[in-house]
């Protein structure tokens, strides 16, 4: 998990391939369930509806067995969702600096309704980082790092130890 543009989907998919696990992207699952894009979901049903469905889908992942799940950028902000992830899996925060995310998202914010402006996104990012840092693992990702390299580091991290490293943060409130 991590902020928009962190590479959650592409990294999660490759990690699942490497581990031979099932892969599920929560946003894609929600779009399939709703039969429309996330943007449309926000327009028609509003964010609270989206968050409820997101949480339900997250809980449904318990039935998947060995799986890699890419969360949405806001999934881990909910305490209930965090508790679920803690109980059922190992969480990794893909820690990408905001400047890198902002560059990556340039021109690609239309499909991301919570990215209203660069300044708002920066504030959202700053408010969320303490939540993200409650992940079992925090993986700093450099701009120059390839997805393959990130996946290798992730596989090592998850394979060598089942004892979480801990992100350090004890509480977050957004
Ligand atoms: C959101 C991030 C999006 C998607 C929705 C809300 C957020 O996912 O879940 O637009 O609150 O940060 P990505 O992080 O995959 O873009």
Q: What is the pLDDT along the chain (174 residues), one digit of tens a residue?
A: 999 999 999 999 999 999 999 999 999 999 999 999 999 999 999 999 999 999 999 999 999 999 999 999 999 999 999 999 999 999 999 999 999 999 999 888 888 999 989 999 999 999 999 999 999 999 999 999 999 999 999 999 888 655 555 555 567 866
Name the DSSP letter for residue 61. Answer: G
Q: What is the pLDDT of residue 85?
A: 97
Q: Which residues line ligand 1 (CB under 6 A)?
A: 4, 8, 27, 38, 72-74, 112-114
Orientation angle between helical segments 47-60 and 79-88, nearest 10 degrees: 10
Tokens matching residue 154: 């992730």
According to the model, what pLDDT value does residue 163 have?
Answer: 53
pLDDT at 8: 97
Dist CA 19 CA 98 (whole Å) = 29
For ligand 1, mutation pick of 71, 114, 120, 129 (most atoms within 8 Å of CB):
114
Q: What is the DSSP letter of 106?
A: T
Which secondary structure element, helix H or strand E, spans residue 140, and what is its range? strand 137-140
Give the three-state DSSP class for 134: coil
**End-to-end CA distance of the chain, in Å?**
17
What confidence score (pLDDT) does residue 159 get? 80
Taking the centre of ligand 1 as the mean of its atom positions, its distance from the CA of residue 117, in whole angstroms, is 14
Place of tokens 């992942």: 61
- Ligand 1: residue of 72, 108, 128 to mutate (most ligand atoms within 8 A of CB) is 72
Tokens 């303490």 locate to 130
Ligand 1, residue 27: give the atom nearest the CA: 9
User: Which residues are paired to 93 by β-bridges?
Assistant: 138
């Amino acid at each position: 998990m991590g902020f928009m543009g962190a590479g959650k989907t592409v990294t999660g998919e490759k990690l699942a391939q490497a581990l031979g696990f099932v892969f599920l992207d929560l946003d894609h699952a929600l779009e399939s369930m709703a039969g429309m894009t996330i943007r449309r979901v926000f327009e028609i049903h509003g964010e609270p509806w989206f968050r409820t469905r997101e949480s339900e889908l997250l809980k449904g992942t318990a039935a998947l067995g060995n799986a890699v799940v890419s969360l949405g950028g806001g999934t881990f902000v909910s305490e209930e969702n965090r508790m679920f992830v803690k109980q059922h899996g190992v969480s990794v925060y893909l820690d990408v600096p905001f400047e890198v995310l902002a560059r990556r998202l340039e021109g690609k914010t239309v499909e991301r309704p919570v990215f209203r402006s660069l300044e708002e996104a920066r504030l959202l990012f700053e408010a969320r980082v303490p939540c993200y840092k409650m992940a079992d693992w925090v993986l700093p990702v450099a701009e120059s790092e390839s997805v393959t390299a990130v996946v290798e580091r992730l596989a090592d991290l998850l394979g060598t130890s089942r004892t979480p490293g801990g992100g350090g943060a004890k509480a977050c409130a957004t």
